[in-house]
A = this chain, B = another copy of it.
Amino acid sequence: MKRIAGAMLLTLGVCVAQESGDFQPAATNVWGAEYPRVDKSLRAQFRVNAPNAAKVQVNFWSAPKLDLAKQPDGFWTGTTPPLVPGFHYYTLLIDGAEVTDINSHTFFGGGKDASGIEIPEAGSTYYLPQNVPHGQVRENWYYSKVTGSWRHALVYTPPDYDTRASARYPVLYLQHGGGEDETGWTKQAHANFILDNLLASGSCKPMIVVMAYGYARRAGQPLPDLTGKPFGSPEMMRAMQEMAAAFEDDMTEVLIPYIDSNFRTIADRDHRAMAGLSMGGMQTFQVTFNHLDLFSWIGGFSGAAGPLVLGNEKLDPKTAFNGALADPAAFSKRVHLLWVGVGTEEPARMREGLLRLHASLDEAKIRHVFYESPGTSHEWQTWRRDLKDFAPRLFQPAAH
């Protein structure tokens, strides 16, 4: 009873008053957790209860590690320099153990339920819940004959979906990055609120957004044994190609028919888009370029074209993507939108690769949009901005 009452009271915001100055608890915290907290200059302050630990660090994935200092009360504290606005993954390192901070909600990334901290961006409300009509996010389970398993997909339906019972909608397939899963676009990026807000301001068409689980192994395919095989070995590259092919088949042979049967879609290529971030961008290029009969709107967010971006190759339109670009005029007529984005602070290899892709597309006179997110790296703030720029361009007659 005491435990229950305590939990109830926590939600009332009851807590011992603390000197917080300018600092406010992060939006990503669980109820009642005063730390981590963020001030107006975007510094993040941490406080971790670890009375018997010898070393405690905050392990950011897109910022330097922060060493915490032990206080007389057994708590470890520390404050970062100002951080880039947006969502940042982190874990704690306590005496060498990588663990999750119980003050934070968790977000699936890096193959684990990691902690995260939201740093507000002044003036940016486009990804926050506003007083506008809200769509639903629906969990769907579908059986895939490709993988021989039940698979999970989240589907955003726009606010008027249930009231306009005979309306049909175009569809955007929107993929997460490597190490993440189908929950990332809504939990980390608030894609549902981004769409709600764009719709409310009349900036984009109502659309269904499908966020699928981005990994697949073909039914009956044995686990690859890569023991002793180095990174980049032929065996490893083959395993990755097999996974990518299984994902492509699941999406085109199972998921798209499932969505078209279970939602009121406009089931043709003029009304079907695909985009993804990082690994999801590579998947987008593979799936769409191999199936231009299914897709006509294409977005690559920080990871468009796989080896073309990450290697040192220059795009050869004659041969790239199995020749899909061989006739630039025909391609530009057939594909209503080819959209490529990158953050200005992304790691050099990623950034240079995407700049090179952009230049190659220009040189080959392949119409496309190139977008740069100022001041952001390979992180969710880049991809929120990408979606905000990309979604309004979709399914517009002017693009045809």
Which residues of A pack against B, CB within 8 Å? 1-14, 16-17, 30-32, 48-56, 74, 91-92, 94-106, 108, 110-114, 129, 131, 134, 136-143, 150, 162, 165, 177-179, 186, 192, 215, 217, 223-227, 231, 236, 239-240, 243, 262-263, 278-279, 303, 310, 349
Contacts and interface: CB of A to CB of B under 8 A. Distances in A.
A7 B96 contact: no
A30 B112 CA distance: 6
Contact of A215 (B8, B49, B52, B100): B8
Contact of A95 (B5, B52, B91): B52
A214 to B, nearest CB: 9
Contacts of A92: 97, 99
Contact of A97 (B48, B91, B110): B48
Contacts of A263: 162
Contacts of A3: 110, 178-179
Task: Specify how many copies of this chain sit in the oligomer.
Answer: 2
B136 A95 contact: no
A97 B143 CA distance: 42
12 contacts: A1-B349, A3-B178, A8-B215, A9-B239, A11-B111, A14-B226, A52-B96, A53-B96, A94-B95, A100-B100, A129-B150, A136-B139
A179 to B, nearest CB: 3
Contacts of A6: 179
A211 B151 CA distance: 23
Question: By CB atoms of chain B within 10 A, which of A2, A6, A12, A16 has the most?
Answer: A12
Given A4-B179, A5-B231, A51 B111 contact: no
Nearest to A136: B138
A111 B30 contact: yes
Contacts of A105: 113
Contacts of A186: 139
A162 B140 CA distance: 12
B110 A7 contact: yes
A2 to B, nearest CB: 6
Contact of A12 (B95, B143, B217): B217
A92 B141 CA distance: 32
Question: By CB atoms of chain B within 10 A, which of A95, A134, A224, A263 has the most?
Answer: A95
Contact of A13 (B96, B223, B240): B223
Contacts of A51: 95-97
B278 A4 contact: yes
A139 B138 contact: yes
Contact of A100 (B11, B31, B106, B178): B106
A61 to B, nearest CB: 9
Contacts of A138: 136-139
A84 to B, nearest CB: 19
B49 A111 contact: no
Contact of A134 (B141, B177, B179): B141
A51 B56 CA distance: 13
A102 B140 CA distance: 26
Nearest to A353: B1
Contacts of A12: 215, 217, 223-224, 239, 243
B141 A139 contact: no
A139 B137 contact: yes
B97 A100 contact: no
A95 B129 contact: no
A239 B12 CA distance: 8
